[in-house]
Structure 1
Amino acid sequence: MRPERIVPNPDLTVGEDNKQRWNQPAHRRHGFHNAHHLFRRTLMVRARNVMLLDTAPLSDFGGIPSLRNLMTHPAFSAICCIQDGRIVMEVAAEDFSLTAPHSIQSITKLHIHLIIGQLIDQGLLALDAKVAEYLPDIGTGYSDASVQALLDMAVTNDFSEDYSDPNSDCYTEEIALGWRLPKGKVAETSLVAFTNAITGFKPDKDRLQAEYKSANTDVLTRIAAAVSPKPLAQHIEDIADAAGYEGGFHISLSPDGFPAFSGGGCLSARDLARFGQLFARQGCDIHGTPFANVSFLSGSLTRAAPSLAAPKEWLRYSNHMMTDGRFLGHAGYGGQFLMVDMQSGTSCAFLSVLQNDAGYDDAYMAQVAEVMRQVCDR
């Protein structure tokens, strides 16, 4: 029999810049708008009940010129702000929509805040415990680190996350997240193998600044899977139900079946704002029933935690969320930000796709964070 003509999957094959096609600058906008179709494998869930949204008189927030600058930036995809069950602002770019899934990247990490909080509430997890107590096979990069240090991005080891360096470890991590294929005929790396191979832990008890490492989230994912009485897929479904998504929540999966909480989520702008409302309701679901660990959530806002680097030093990284005590949220690689104002109950989801070589710009992300804070404050 004649063998079929084959070619390595063009979307997932790595090019000379050590990026798979969907994350190369020329293709990144299409990639982020279609990531839920492009990942190697995904889990998709729908909510049992949908949180209906009324439309208030929409504001263009004309008093914030910097917002207009963001919305006319070539990177802009969509913005949606919700308060008290009402859409108070929403705009989408001409090539996108408010209901289409979009890669939310590291905003996905907020799921770990919710899941870990619940496991602590159930007495299944201790913040001061060492990682090796839950993962005996973990490598030296994490074995002596505490769960609390992982939650606060306060771990120093050999894992590197420098988006401007094409050989940074975070790009190798993408194989274990189901975002790309390894070169040649090499087998895909599992999340377990990837995290176990990290070395070089250095203790630091007096850390003042966060050291951002998505691998911390991967290890927390494994810990949650090890101690939780229900599968992580059920946690994802429960969060979807608590948020009341209108569309689907998609998340990439590792070769060994772990959800990529470090950055594999995809949500529409409206559903990302709905997710933010779960926090704005002080952790209650759409029925008004307590869902999150409320003491863990509220304590995360007020406790001392490492600050982010300038120009986002006004935010602390506390228990897998970014906060200044009033606002909480998270940034995402490529240009995403979810901001929740715990005082006004407003959640604002901002989606965009930077098309520079690195796919990241710290000054741009600082501007996004500051503008979202101003929007929520209005």
Structure 2
Amino acid sequence: MLSRIPNPDLSVDHTNKQRWNRPAHRRHGFHNAHRLFRRALMVRSRTVLPLEPAPIDLPAEVTELRALLDHPAFSAFCCLRGGTLVHEAAASDFSPVAPHSIQSVTKLHMHLIVGRLLAQGLLSLDARVADYLPGIGSGYAEAPVRAVLDMAVHNDFSEDYSNSQSDCYAEEMALGWRLPPGGAPEPSLAEFAARVTGYKPGPQPDRADYKSANTDVLTLIAAAASPVPLAKLIEEIADAAGYEGAFHISLSPENLPAFSGGGCLCARDLARFGLLFAGMSGDARYPNKGFLNDCLDRPAPSLEPPRDWLRYSGHMMTDGRLLGHAGYGGQFLMVDSASGTSCAFLSVLENEDGYDQDYMSRVADCLRKLCKFLEELPKCS
């Protein structure tokens, strides 16, 4: 009888992390996540949005960018102005056209999907989660859908990257990122979300209470409300963005997409994806402009300092004009919704936690300065 061992990439060790997310292996893991997940969906666009090179030496104009491109964590960067490729760069071990884990930047897909369901009259932001998911646990049953979208839900789910026993690591078993210890069954996304307890009702908080489980709940709601499978909606988003490469996303045991952080895109295609939020894609289906404008304009919880210039609204980070999302490990997509600038920054922090608040603030501030620098250029069409 031939013996077998647990998959080394997906098995956890004494640190409660799977191999591809341990510091010594994380860079390889983020550069190859699309091949390391337990299961994944891959989608290509039917048509490709071409890019016209018109280089600008952005690192010479914005010195903060030069410092980030020289940082050991850096993987790839791409800045588009509509269909114009303004600047791109990559580390010596990577490429702007190679897929990379984008982590929580994937959450922006949920903004697009919710906007579509709202436009079709299939979803109400004022409804309770239990109205769509009768079997959901006490952590979300009474929460309004809008609060889940705005990271304004207080419950017992913890997302503390410095604590290896935090709930966000257990969540990874339901995202197809790791195996349960001891050969235990893999929990479905629905099972995991139903285990969250401790909902605390109250007014909208001043600060966002960031929980990736919120995206898991929204994924389950979208799967219940949408007349077409979520995989089909992913195809439509890919077609609208016009990727030249492939979009990969990990899948839960019940084959639901891991919108909370399972996406992989190259820097160029992540920037193309960003153009959807500036109405630059040439595709009228995404996003729903009414929902997008509402999320840009209305009050919402702010992020923690020093990124409190951004608020969390409709499953995206925004200051009312700039919008985007950060991702664990060093990712950020920032879009100027008015000018059509889209900046995708990919990197891999190799510290123990895989997260550094100061580093992420530097990235966000740098991309904001880039958008400001490019603001005066003639608007692309």
Question: How big is each residue's C-alpha offset from its partner over 1:75-101, in whole Å with a ceiling of 9 and x where there is no partner?
Answer: 000100001201101000000001000
Letter in 2 for 1:321: M
Contact 1:78/1:350 (<8 A) preserved: yes
* Counterpart contact for 2:249–2:258, Cα < 8 Å: yes
The code of the aligned residue for 1:116 comes to V
Alpha-carbon distance, 1:342 to partner? 1.4
CA distance in 2, matches of 1:57, 1:264: 31
Match for residue 240 of structure 2? 242
Q: How does 1:178-327 map to 2 (within 5 A)?
A: 178-281=176-279, 286-327=281-322
Q: What do residues 316-368 of structure 1 show as CA deviations (whole Å, max 9, x unaligned)?
A: 00000000011000000000000001122100000000000000001110110
Give secondary structure in 2 for the equivalent of 1:337: strand
Q: How much has 1:204 moved relative to structure 2?
A: 2.0
CA distance in 1, matches of 2:111, 2:292: 8
Q: Secondary structure at the match of 2:136?
A: coil
Q: How many pairs does the alignment contain?
A: 373
Aligned to 2:61: 63
Contact 1:46 1:245 in 2 (8 A): yes
After superposition, the C-alpha distances for 1:103-125 in whole angstroms (9 at most, x for unaligned) are 00000000000000110111110
Q: What CA deviation, in whole Å up to 9, does each residue of 1:179-225 have, x standing for no partner?
A: 00010121111101100011000012141110000000000000000
The answer as to whether partners of 2:11 and 2:179 remain within 8 angstroms in 1 is yes
**Matched letter for residue 183 of structure 1:** P
Sequence identity of aligned pairs in percent?
65
Mapped contact 1:58–1:87 kept (Cα < 8 A): no
Shift of 1:5: 2.6
Shift of 1:62: 1.3
Q: Does 1:90 align with 2:98?
A: no
What SS is found at the alignment partner of 2:79? strand
8 A Cα contact 1:61 1:375, kept in partner: no
**1:39 and 1:252 in contact (8 A); partners too:** yes
Report what 1:377 is aligned to.
Answer: 372
Is the Cα–Cα contact under 8 Å of residues 150 and 312 in structure 2 kept in the other structure? Answer: yes
Q: What is aligned with 1:368?
A: 363
- SS in structure 2 at match of 1:67: helix
1:352 aligns with 2:350: no
How big is each residue's C-alpha offset from its partner over 1:3-44, in whole Å with a ceiling of 9 and x where there is no partner?
123111000000111100000000000000000000000000
Match of 1:41 among 23, 39, 42: 39
- Cα displacement (A) at 1:157: 0.4
In structure 1, which of residues 51, 54, 78 is the aligned counterpart of residue 52 of structure 2?
Answer: 54
**TM-score, with length taken from structure 1:** 0.97
SS in 1 for 2:182: coil
CA distance in 1, matches of 2:357, 2:112: 27
Given residue 376 of structure 1, which amino acid in structure 2 is its aligned partner?
A: C
Tell me, yes or no, if structure 1 residue 30 matches structure 2 residue 25.
no
The answer to whether the 8 Å contact 2:300/2:312 transfers is yes
Q: CA deviation at 1:289?
A: 2.7
3-state DSSP of counterpart to 1:277: helix
- My pick for the range that moved more, 66-75 or 289-298, is 289-298
RMSD value, Cα: 0.9
> What amino acid maps onto 2:357 in structure 1?
D
SS at match of 1:27: helix
Mapped partners of 2:151, 2:255: distance in 1:
24
Residue type at the aligned position of 1:292: P
Paired letter, 2:343 = C
CA distance in 1, matches of 2:19, 2:137: 31
Counterpart in the other structure of 1:130: 128
SS in 2 for 1:26: helix
Seen in structure 2, the aligned counterparts of structure 1 residues 39 and 55 have a Cα distance that, compared at 3 Å, is: same
The alignment partner of 2:148 has SS state of: helix
Instruction: Please list the CA deviations of residues 140-178 of structure 1 after superposition, one character each: whole Å capped at 9, or x if unmatched.
Output: 000000000000000000100000000000000000000
**Structure 1 stretch displaced more, 45-54 or 55-64:** 55-64
The Cα shift of 1:290 comes to 4.2
Q: Is the 8 A contact 2:152 2:204 kept in 1?
A: no
- TM (norm. structure 2) is 0.97
Matched residue SS, 1:344: coil
CA contact (8 A) 2:58 2:65 kept: no
Runs of 4+ deviating beyond 6 Å: none
Asked if structure 2 preserves the Cα contact closer than 8 Å seen for 1:139 and 1:199, the reply is yes
- Given residue 332 of structure 1, which amino acid in structure 2 is its aligned partner? G
Deviation at 1:288, TM superposition (A): 4.3
Unaligned regions of 5+ residues in structure 1, if any? none
Letter in 2 for 1:56: A
Q: CA deviation at 1:292?
A: 1.7
| Distance across 2 between alignment mates of 1:323 and 1:226 | 28
